[in-house]
Amino acid sequence: MFKAWIRFLKSLKRVPEDSGHFRAWVAVNVTVALVATAEQLDWPLFFWPCLALTWFGMWVSHRLRRRNNWEIKAALSVLMVVALVNFFTGLAHSYYDPREPLAQLLMWLQALHSCDLPTRKDLSYSLLSALILMAVGAVLSITFSFAVYLSLYYLSAVMALRWNVRSLVGERTGWRPASGRSLPSWRGGLGLGASVLGCGLVVVMLMPRLEGFRIRALPMSWQNHLEQAAESKGEVQNPYYPAQLSKEQMKKESHFNSSGYGGFSSLVDLQTRGRLDHERVFQVRTNVECYFRALTFDTYDGQFWSQSEEELQSLNVQNPPFTFMPTASNATDVVQIFYIDRPLSNLVLFSPDAYQVFFPSQILYQDRAGCLRAPFVLDKDMVYSVVSRQSHMTPRRLSRLPRRDPELRKLTNYLQLPDTLPARVSELARQVTKGRNGYYDRAAAIALYLSSNYAYDLDVPRFAEDHDAVDSFLFESRRGYCEHFAAAMTVMCRALKVPARYCTGFLPGTYNPFSGFREVYGDQAHAWVEVFIPGYGWMTFDPTPGGSLTPEVDAGSAPQNRWLGLAVLEYLGAKFGVSASRLAVWLVGIGLGLLGVAGLRALTPRPRLDPVLAALLEAWPLLGPCPPGQSPRARAAAHPYESLRRLVELHESVAYAGRPSSAAEHKLARELLAQLRSEVAKASGPSGR
């Protein structure tokens, strides 16, 4: 069998591809694909030998293109089997995400294949494998910077394909261009590329874009941080604030860090003031717009929110995922893939209620509210995934749910209020919900009242130290930020014996139509309320102006299909601080301007033919059919007309001189054409009439 295989390799005979320009553009195209994929893999060590082998292999295959090279083919076959074995080995260690082992396999195959590219077809296969590598890089990419690689890849692919077509025509017809036309023009290549790209962009912009996605391979960065587990037993760790400050210390050392949110701590001080930085903290791919919860608080003392002391549950798994019992039936799976852009607290962000968590640790800690904490701070470039269950109901169905639920007896800690709470807070809650009986109706009425009658203001002055913060917000300041709105709604619900808890986390973020990710920034850290609805469970309410009053209800009815063009306008408008409608007007104006320029160019009279050439072209039909490939001088010699010979000589003297003909030459050309007509008519005799 081995000998038969060697004989087969020796018998292979193929037509070599001699174009060095074709190979050069293929090399550029493959290099762009390799570099683009390597950057998404954070520049792995194997990339550099892959790149070096690719360049060296292309040089060798060009030098040895006329040989059989069966030795190289045999060696490459063995090395490709080794690469395949290495792929399956890597896959065994990365069963949670096969993309990185696949990218490594494709990069090695591309490098090995580059060592044997004797023919045009082999070079075409390299272009195809580069396309696959770019697709893998695009899947791994989570930033818009990948567009730079796409542009370079597209340009090099267009030029390589033009050379491919020229080689194909020569291979099938034997045609070779003249020496002066050995290179396809840049102008033609750029024109072709711009035309195809323009048509593609128009088609894409007119297509609907589904913000969600269907995915079952949930990625995570398998960085096992178990060595740090002994240092943390689940206590909250916020890298931007000192650990476990007491209330007295926070009153004395009241400070604000614009890089981190104070709500991701064991205590929340409603007297803290400041503005968070507008810097991206993470990106998330999700199929449903949702709030990302980090912590819940159940104890309020008039100024601080805290968690009642409890023993955290330690969760251990050998292999991901962590699996929980889903609380909702007939619910929608909410898939979330988080890419951390800068260090965050050890709180695992997700949309409640999670039933599968793919996290790079074998230990997690869970509190009574279902919030999860890692044994370490979430580092930059960490990736983890969560699958939650979200049940959707209409407001009408929620209003009709029964008010009895055995779970209510277990929620007394979510009814806690300080003894010093002014009575007018409870009285206001009763007035706002007058005529509302159900838990959902009361909570919705309070959220609507707060969002409609109070102003959002990040520069609100500090409240009096000896006054209840919620009372000061409701009756004195009447303006504040999300923490004040959430605290007020939580207290008002509890005053009506409706279980509620104060929550901190992040808003859904800004949808990026270019990447398909939601971008979440530091100043989108948020506080809201979760209210227990008998027969349903905990439901999110956001009383802050500008937010969604009932995010879970709204998310179920919000359409997810949007025109990509509209999504792009909204995204760019938000980036540049311009409304989408104004941006659309600008773009339409630019488009109409370009169309106007094109129209003017189309209506502008094109330069007329030189009169001498025009006279010669008028002369040819008088002579009958022209034999293929016959030059003007040869055709003139084939006919006995002196005027034709002189007209051809006149044309040659003008054309080869590289100048326009003079008025005297115009007159002479018309005279010679008239004389030729007369001679042809005489020669044809009576039969010509």
pLDDT digits over 460-487, tens only? 999 988 899 999 999 999 999 999 999 9
Give the integer Cα–Cα distance in Å for 9 and 68: 8
Least confident stretch, 61-65, 107-111, 446-450, 473-477: 61-65
Q: List C-alpha distances in Å: 639 to 74, 418, 631, 679.
A: 66, 116, 13, 11
> Could you count the other beta carbons within 10 Å of the beta carbon of residue 355?
18
pLDDT exceeds 60 at position 222? no
Residue 186, Cα to own-chain centre: how many angstroms?
31
Least confident stretch, 280-294, 326-340, 356-370, 469-483: 326-340
pLDDT exceeds 80 at position 110? yes
pLDDT category, 605, cuts 50, 70, 90? Answer: low
Q: What is the mean pLDDT of residues 257-276?
A: 87
pLDDT category, 559, cuts 50, 70, 90? Answer: very low
DSSP code of 263? T
CB 293 within 8 A of CB 283: no
Give the integer Cα–Cα distance in Å for 75 and 82: 11
pLDDT number for residue 685:
65
pLDDT digits over 20-46, tens only? 888 999 999 999 999 999 998 888 888
Give the integer Cα–Cα distance in Å for 451 and 435: 20
pLDDT number for residue 131:
93
Residue of higher predicted confidence among 382 and 11 = 382
Give the integer Cα–Cα distance in Å for 117 and 256: 62
pLDDT number for residue 177:
59
pLDDT exceeds 80 at position 380? yes
Q: Which of 243, 240, 236, 279 is nearest to 260 (CA)?
A: 240
Residue 38, Cα to own-chain centre: how many angstroms?
17
The residue written with tokens 């006919």 in the block is 639
pLDDT number for residue 621:
82
Least confident stretch, 112-121, 182-191, 384-393, 616-625: 182-191
Least confident stretch, 72-86, 224-238, 531-545: 224-238
B/e letters for 421-432, b = 16+ CB within 10 Å, e = fewer, are bbeebbebbeeb
CB 283 within 8 A of CB 518: yes
CATH of domain 396-506+526-553: 3.10.620.30
Q: Which of 618, 623, 615, 617 is nearest to 640 (CA)?
A: 623
pLDDT number for residue 557:
44
pLDDT digits over 397-442, tens only? 888 887 788 888 889 999 999 999 999 999 999 999 998 888 999 9
pLDDT category, 214, cuts 50, 70, 90? Answer: low
> What's this model's pTM, rounded to 2 decimal places?
0.73
Q: Which of 405, 445, 416 is nearest to 541 (CA)?
A: 445
The conformational region for residue 685 under phi > 0 = left, psi -120 to 50 = alpha, else beta, is: left
Q: What is the mean pLDDT of residues 495-509?
A: 95
- Collect contacts of 299-302 with beta carbons under 8 A, ≥24 apart: 299/413, 299/416, 300/416, 300/417, 300/418, 300/470, 300/487, 300/490, 300/491, 300/502, 301/247, 301/418, 302/418, 302/420, 302/421, 302/468, 302/469, 302/470
The conformational region for residue 124 under phi > 0 = left, psi -120 to 50 = alpha, else beta, is: alpha
- String of DSSP letters for 611-647: HHHHHHHHHGGGG-PPPTT--HHHHHHTS--HHHHHH
pLDDT number for residue 283:
93
Q: List C-alpha distances in Å: 624 to 621, 627, 646, 651.
A: 6, 10, 19, 20
pLDDT exceeds 70 at position 103? yes
pLDDT exceeds 60 at position 315? yes
pLDDT category, 101, cuts 50, 70, 90? Answer: confident
pLDDT number for residue 291:
93
pLDDT exceeds 80 at position 310? no
For the chain, domain boundaries: 2-176+188-206, 396-506+526-553, 611-688
pLDDT exceeds 60 at position 272? yes
B/e letters for 439-469, b = 16+ CB within 10 Å, e = fewer, are bbebbbbbbebbbeebebeeebeebeeebbb
3-state secondary structure 663-679: HHHHHHHHHHHHHHHHH
pLDDT exceeds 60 at position 515? yes
Q: What is the mean pLDDT of residues 512-518?
A: 82
pLDDT category, 173, cuts 50, 70, 90? Answer: low
Q: Which of 429, 481, 446 is nearest to 460 (CA)?
A: 481
Residue of higher predicted confidence among 686 and 80 = 80
Give the integer Cα–Cα distance in Å for 277 and 415: 34
Upstream peptide bond of 321 is cis (omega within 30 degrees of 0):
yes
- String of DSSP letters for 187-254: HHHHHHHHHHHHHHHHHHHTSEEESS-------------GGGGGG-SS----TTS-TT--HHHHHHT-
What is the overall mean pLDDT for the chain?
82
pLDDT category, 212, cuts 50, 70, 90? Answer: low
The residue written with tokens 């070779």 in the block is 176
DSSP code of 408? G
Give the integer Cα–Cα distance in Å for 428 and 422: 11
pLDDT category, 141, cuts 50, 70, 90? Answer: confident
Q: Which of 140, 72, 60, 143 is nearest to 107 (CA)?
A: 140
Q: Which of 350, 331, 398 is nearest to 549 (CA)?
A: 398
Residue 163, CA atoms < 13 Å, CB-side half-sphere: 25
pLDDT exceeds 60 at position 213? no
CB 488 within 8 A of CB 453: no
Give the integer Cα–Cα distance in Å for 555 and 551: 6
Residue 573 makes CB contacts below 8 A (sequence gap 6+) with: 579, 580, 582, 583
Residue 526: in which H helix or E strand, if any?
Answer: strand 525-533
pLDDT exceeds 80 at position 582? no
Q: What is the mean pLDDT of residues 567-596?
A: 74
* 3-state helix, strand and coil shares in percent for the chain, rounded to the nearest 5: 50, 15, 35
